[in-house]
Structure 1
Amino acid sequence: MTPCIYLGSILHFPSITDSPDENFAYFERGALVTRNGKVVDVGDKASITLKYPDATVVDYTGKLIVPGFIDAHLHFPQTEMIASYGEQLLEWLENYTFPTEQKFSDKSYAERIADIFLKQLYRNGTTTAMVYSTVHKEACDALFEAATAHNMMMIAGKVCMDRHCPEPLRDTPSQAQKDSDELIQRWHGKGRNLYALTPRFAPTSSPEQMAALGELAASYPDVFIQTHLSENKNEIEWVKSLYPNHIDYLDVYDHYGMVRPRAVYGHCLHLSEREWQRFNESGAVAAFCPTSNLFLGSGLFDLETAKGHNVNLALATDVGAGTSFSMLRTMGEAYKVCQLRHTKLSSLQGLYMMTMGAAASLQLTESIGNLNKGTDADFVVLDPHFDSLTQLRLEGGTSSPQDILFALSMLGDDRAVHATYVSGKEVKNQQE
């Protein structure tokens, strides 16, 4: 197939780094070359265009090309209940989440929402997502089928819960294990699909169910794990009452073999020193969900402490408690959370946590998170002048990539995403 060259300003992180403000690649007059869904080359326009004289050229001059965004924690069944008013975590689950998720026993309904969900991701530049389905195996199938149609990297799993939830959403330890095993066999490593074992959180899984899922985790060491941890103080007290023989909340998961690389824990707001140390030792990942944490009044993520313990980090929307599918907006809210904690988050640090940093945390840098040769051609074209206000903010044409990103994190949303490409194919453009 003839290669395609995309012209524009190009920004990415070629390697894993603790210093994204210093270790990045930026080509103001750049060119990205793709062929057969892969990145072939990246660099300065002048040298790249000479190397590929027969390539098809797509001109995005004046726009910023970055790797596709990675959203490390969100719930596709909650798409329709985003922006539901006024509860904290446990009440919000009871009043909004559980009633909505019961609809997903109907696969045709799940297929409809999966289609809307993916369109929202693409509109906002998200090309990889780590997603909670519902307890229904068919809903998980619907999500993977929708992602497969676009050759999108999807990490997802059937939610498992056998207590403290409505009867229609309840499975059993054996059913959770059986369904999860079947879904792993059907989807994990098939195309770009990856599976995540998904106990919703410790209160909704009995020790017997946790043990059954722990057995699966031991049997499939390369499968992902996703769940929630220390989001709400009442939740933490609840866990203590349900699992009184464990040191702390994280120890519950650890006891069942779920604290390891590729295990992603949403929120992590109220961790002890021991828990932070255990994250460091285990290689597990903390997902920073700022809009959700603010919306539910759960707390402020301690980014400085997480970095001080060299914890693997990724940024996440946590839709539907999260208030936007936009990773740009999420980065802006992360900056505000850090301001409230009297620490700093630069725009390059924010971009790193939703591209290369997230990919490194998930052990996927050979495929996503950067624009290195041989990676999957997932990328986003951002328009720094998408409306009159951003034009005014950035007029003069001399803004640094750091300043452009920061402005977009405060002023941008899906309108700033001019185009989104998955496996080298455009899935969203400005005309939609």
Structure 2
Amino acid sequence: MLYWIYSKWTSRQPIEVFPVPVAGLSTGILQDSQEHIALKCLRDLIHIGGGGSWPPTATYDSWPPALSAYNSVFRTLEEALPVEEASLDNTRNREIIDSFRARMRSQLDRSIAIEDVEVTLEAWKSQKDCSAHAAWLGFFACISFLRHAYRWGVTPIVSEAQNETFLTFPRALELPWIAIQHRFGITSPSGCMTSICYSNMASADHLQYSVTVGMPDEHRSTEFWNTKLVCDMEAKVLPAYHLFAQAIRFVDLELPESARDALKMANETLKAALKYFFKTMVDSNISHAVWMAYVQGFQGWALNGTDGISGGQSLVFRTLDAFLGIRPWPTHEKERLHIPEIQRNWINCLRDYDIRAVSRERGYDEVTAELDSLVKQLRVWRMGHMRRMQPYESVHRPERLHMTAGISVVNASNENQMIEHLKKELGRRLAQTL
């Protein structure tokens, strides 16, 4: 991995490059003292949005005592959620779901002192330092897992739960969720990529919360690699985020050669990251047979018209679309559902500047050429992803309705129709990647 330091500014600002450990990337960006709104938004993303690093650093052992009991509740129930063979009997599934929810309510009633939680959350919300935000991220993950477990009642998920249109959650899960929504600036009732993926990597080889406890190794590996791949992509593209912000600053300073050089490096960084993505997203890591049942299903929501986790929530690809001016943008209301405010600030900063439009207007042809190369890479990735997703999304699961985590229940009578629906959705974004 490469890192960069900028020398004293001259008429052209050269980029000196030397290797540093990956762990130093976030620190290096935070120490970049150059002034520009794009750099400030990136530093805020890391310092505030990530608890000091990107991808985020979540902590799980530094919560106030009244909140730590939520972790114990999840641990008590984690082995009761997954089953190896899903039932096709709706009556039986209703019994399983109701029984699991009753157990969770009982555990919450016994373990959670709701008045103490209310007082603690009120006091804790004023804590704004880096360590406090890392703790909030861990708590965000815990409550998200509890809410998704309560929502489904069993994994693999079943049509009996998918058919629900409304669900009342226990107050012990609603009260902290309101505080979480306020803290992160989101409106969705469900977890998101930030809480269930980014904030769930306890270490390089360990998930903090799992919904495949007690399942065979293939299930555990699939859940682990699904999360690790998402987080690894953020780590591998982080240098490009910095280069994007620097390129904007260079263009503002009318230093197109320096902007071009930064974008050349960003192209190489992105190329390596996308290669890693396709090398890692293989059946030996993320099983075709297991993924839909034990990962995709749990991460969905399909309640009250709200979707769950989607690959579209990935900051990597939202950043690329924003930086490259690939439209249309999502509405503010839709983006606010699942994307924390600090991430939205970073994305919107890139959108507002629109470096491709500025470079074309100023006749910076070499800058434009590097930006066009980034677009071509993104197009190739989207074409490849359209092919790679088909074996995963076409697995036959008779216990459930056709559903993606990010689009909810799909009106499809068989797997072929489901794939055609997904190809249409992905193809629309591919056509816009110009």
- Give the strand-richer structure, 1 or 2: 1
TM superposition score category, shorter chain reference = under 0.3
TM-score (norm 2): 0.28
Larger radius of gyration: 2
- Give the helix-richer structure, 1 or 2: 2
TM-score (norm 1): 0.28
